[in-house]
A and B are shown apart, each in its own frame.
Chain A
Amino acid sequence: DGGITQSPKYLFRKEGQNVTLSCEQNLNHDAMYWYRQDPGQGLRLIYYSQIVNDFQKGDIAEGYSVSREKKESFPLTVTSAQKNPTAFYLCASSIIVGGTSNEQFFGPGTRLTVL
């Protein structure tokens, strides 16, 4: 799992609550990503960021929000607008060389369960 940490490992949310998942990297990578993993569906991109103070929506951004105030940190907030948030959430980072992003390094994941 390299130099990327995610916390907490397990998270329980009640209906109507917002929760924030932490992602920190010490790899000095430029780009960071959030994915959602559901059984049989592979990984789906929620948000990504190439530089500080800039981020773009991925394929399934509705009900989620992010910030990128520091290069090493990319927290994800799961809002009450996300109707089916129970899933395994993965954070990743990659270096950008010559304008091209390379392979991604993943954190250990956070398993979110809605009670």
Chain B
Amino acid sequence: AQSVAQPEDQVNVAEGNPLTVKCTYSVSGNPYLFWYVQYPNRGLQFLLKYITGDNLVKGSYGFEAEFNKSQTSFHLKKPSALVSDSALYFCAVRDGGGYQKVTFGTGTKLQVIP
């Protein structure tokens, strides 16, 4: 069975500081990993994904994520946080290709303080 964990319900960071939102996963095969962002009362927006290749993945709005196979992690990062980055962030995983369902984490609320 596949699973994903976001250990922090909320992350607070000062504007201009680097931010990290943590995600760890568990799959039996090769992981397909995704990050999404949700603003209040809106649907989710896709940020980035890892399927294969370079462990550092770059995505939308200056976000990036690092795939670490040995630590089974896929942490989301940004060098300099903006107040507009404040939102709910979801990590998601799928066990391999083909069609299998995606499992979402419980979400991490990012609060960027001016």
**Contact between A103 and B34, CB atoms less than 8 A apart:** yes
Q: A31-B99, A99-B98 are in contact. Are A1 and B46 (CB under 8 A)?
A: no
| Closest chain A residue to B91, Cβ basis | A42
**How many residues of chain A have a CB within 8 Å of chain B?**
30
- In angstroms, Cα B101 to Cα A45, docked, is 8
Q: A42-B106, A43-B90 are in contact. Are A103 and B43 (CB under 8 A)?
A: no
B31 at the interface (CB under 8 A from A): no
- Partner of A42 from the list B41, B99, B105 (CB cut-off 8 Å) is B105
- In angstroms, Cα B102 to Cα A105, docked, is 13
Q: A42-B107, A109-B42 are in contact. Are A103 and B49 (CB under 8 A)?
A: yes
Determine how close the nearest CB of chain A comes to the CB of B5; give it in whole angstroms: 11
Interface string of B70-114 (1 = CB under 8 A from A): 000000000000000000001000000111011011110000000
- In angstroms, Cα B98 to Cα A96, docked, is 9
Q: Which residues does chain B contribute within 8 Å of A42, judged by CB atoms?
A: 90, 104-107
Main secondary structure of the interface of B (DSSP, over half): loop
**Contact between A111 and B104, CB atoms less than 8 A apart:** no
The A-B contact count (CB < 8 A) is 57
**How many residues of chain B have a CB within 8 Å of chain A?**
20
Interface string of A104-115 (1 = CB under 8 A from B): 111111010000
Interface string of A1-35 (1 = CB under 8 A from B): 10010100000000000000000000000010001
**Contact between B43 and A90, CB atoms less than 8 A apart:** yes
- In angstroms, Cα B99 to Cα A96, docked, is 8
- Smallest CB-CB A-B distances: 7 pairs: A106-B43, A100-B97, A42-B106, A43-B104, A106-B44, A103-B46, A42-B104
- Contacts A6-B43, A40-B9, A43-B90 known; 20 new A-B pairs at CB < 8 A: A1-B43, A4-B43, A35-B104, A41-B106, A42-B90, A42-B104, A43-B104, A58-B101, A92-B43, A92-B44, A99-B97, A99-B98, A100-B97, A102-B49, A103-B34, A104-B46, A106-B36, A109-B41, A109-B43, A111-B41
